[in-house]
Amino acid sequence: MINEFSVFRSIDKINDSTHLIKVYSPSIAASAKPGQFCNIKVSDNNFPLLRRPFSICDVNGDEIHFLFDIHGEGTRLLCNKKNGDTLDILGPLGSGFKIEGDYDTAVIVAGGLGSAPFPFLIKKLPANKKIVSFVGGRSKDLVLTYGLKNVFTATDDGSDGFNGTVVELLKMELENFSKNKIRIFSCGPNPMLKALQLFSIQNNYDCQLSLESAMACGFGICQGCPVESADGESYLLVCKDGPIFNADQVKL
């Protein structure tokens, strides 16, 4: 883990609500793996006190990219940063996606801002892997396909792609793939991950879930981000043991 005083380079709007920021952060960029995250101090003073965690969306040379929507004070402050501002970033944190192994198609499943970690994953997947992406949102304007490949979309209101959830869409489309040859990489809201977890366990699909949790330290000290283990006998920490877990590892 590195604490790097990074330089804010740019901010762009990807759609009506989502922003992409680029930050010069050479040390973190050099060691980042897909699926890891950074804990960002969003102000120069003590308000808000806690850092805010964001998935590493992409790494381009010395730059790290993050995608976010404005939810509250932290993301509003981040959005007001100007080029050249310094940003105190801790990272890279947590486990990354497991990308090596015996599969031929990487199946990405994302809901809403859950698309954030996948541009970097796609860049780092071995060249011989095929990629297919399933992306869901409540409506067309909330389907985030930034940096994804071979995209199928689903919306709750039917305004784009399949009318239904992204997991329902996945169930239909996976009939065309060989079970042993796919690996599912997923990130999104908990109800989506829960449905996907059940489906993948029932069907014996190789599946990794990227979880979110409220966080303070981001590296295993405060015990503030527990998730129950699948056997119900212990707790794992989302920041340190995750945020990437195998589908059969945790109880959601």
Ligand X SMILES: Cc1cc2nc3c(=O)[nH]c(=O)nc-3n(C[C@H](O)[C@H](O)[C@H](O)COP(=O)(O)OP(=O)(O)OC[C@H]3O[C@@H](n4cnc5c(N)ncnc54)[C@H](O)[C@@H]3O)c2cc1C
Q: For binding to ligand X (CB under 6 A), which residues are involved?
A: 37, 52-55, 66-69, 71-75, 113, 116, 212-213, 215, 243
111 contact, one of ligand X, ligand FES, none, CB 5-8 Å limit per kind = none
Does 244 contact ligand FES by CB under 6 A?
A: no
What residues from 62 to 81 belong to the interface with ligand FES (CB under 6 A)?
Answer: none
Which one, of 210, 40, 57, 25, lies nearest residue 124 by Cα?
57
Q: Which is nearer to ligand X, 79 or 105 (CB)?
A: 79
Helix, strand, or coil here: 133? strand
Q: Which is nearer to ligand FES, 110 or 215 (CB)?
A: 215
Distance between CA atoms of residues 33 and 123, nearest Å: 11
Does 239 contact ligand FES by CB under 6 A?
A: yes
The structure tokens 């998730």 sit at 227
Shortest distance (Å) from residue 86 CB to ligand FES: 23
What string of DSSP letters covers 184-219?
A: EEEES-HHHHHHHHHHHHHTT-EEEEE-----SSSS
Shortest distance (Å) from residue 50 CB to ligand FES: 9
- Which phi and psi (to 5°) does residue 106 adopt? -90, 120
Q: What is the enclosing helix (H) or strand (E) of 119?
A: helix 118-124
Shortest distance (Å) from residue 192 CB to ligand X: 12
Shortest distance (Å) from residue 36 CB to ligand X: 9
Distance between CA atoms of residues 140 and 157, nearest Å: 8
Query: Rg of the chain over CA atoms, in angstroms?
Result: 18
Considering only the stretches 78-86, 97-105, 173-181, 223-231, report the one whose residues sit in contact with ligand FES under the rule CB under 6 A. Answer: 223-231
Q: Which is nearer to ligand FES, 90 or 110 (CB)?
A: 90
Does 38 contact ligand FES by CB under 6 A?
A: no
Which one, of 20, 25, 33, 34, lies nearest residue 6 by Cα?
25
Shortest distance (Å) from residue 52 CB to ligand FES: 12
Distance between CA atoms of residues 45 and 114, nearest Å: 29
Q: Which of 216, 229, 246, 249 binds ligand FES (CB under 6 A)?
A: 216
68 contact, one of ligand X, ligand FES, none, CB 5-8 Å limit per kind = ligand X
Helix, strand, or coil here: 238? coil
Q: Interface residues with ligand FES (CB under 6 A)?
A: 215-218, 220-225, 237, 239
